[in-house]
Amino acid sequence: MARLGLKVAATNGVRTLKARTPARTVPVLVPMRDEDQQKDHFITRNGLTYAGSHLIIDLWDAERLGDRDHIEQTLIDAVNAAGATLLHIHLHTFTEGGGVSGVAVLSESHISVHTWPERGYAAFDVFMCGDAEPRKALDVFKAAFNPGRIVIGEHKRGVL
């Protein structure tokens, strides 16, 4: 059982299996072979192959965060600026002038949004694979919401 990462524990004659803490993994660069070069939209840049970039974007002291129509148009503009393909947008407004949550579903993945107009805060996730350029959505968000401060994190998804 130890080879499977499980420990056997016995209590009152009843045996149970408990999972061990998983080992930490570290991404390793694996060169792709020609036969692996299928149309899966993985990206290879600077010797690293991965599914795509996932940007976590926080806008602070931002404007127009309760305006559903403005947010929808901003998502469309961000998709176009990034060179992505829009499949569907779904947005929900919680109360009149309240927060908006939703997602733009893309062929290349998604952009999600959650806003708190009363705090001037918006949280965007921008995940795109293939030839799309998610960082190009940033200028669209800046122009649309005029934030006083932006915090950005980036994670490479699906590193081979």
Give the chain's length. 160
Q: What are the beta bridge partners of residue 128?
A: 53, 109
Beta-carbon count within 10 A of 72 CB:
17
Q: In this structure, what are the phi and psi dihedrals at residue 31, rounded to the nearest 5 degrees?
A: -65, 140
Question: For residue 64, which of 155, 8, 146 has the smallest C-alpha distance?
Answer: 146
Active site residues: 109, 114, 129
Q: What are the beta bridge partners of residue 9?
A: 16
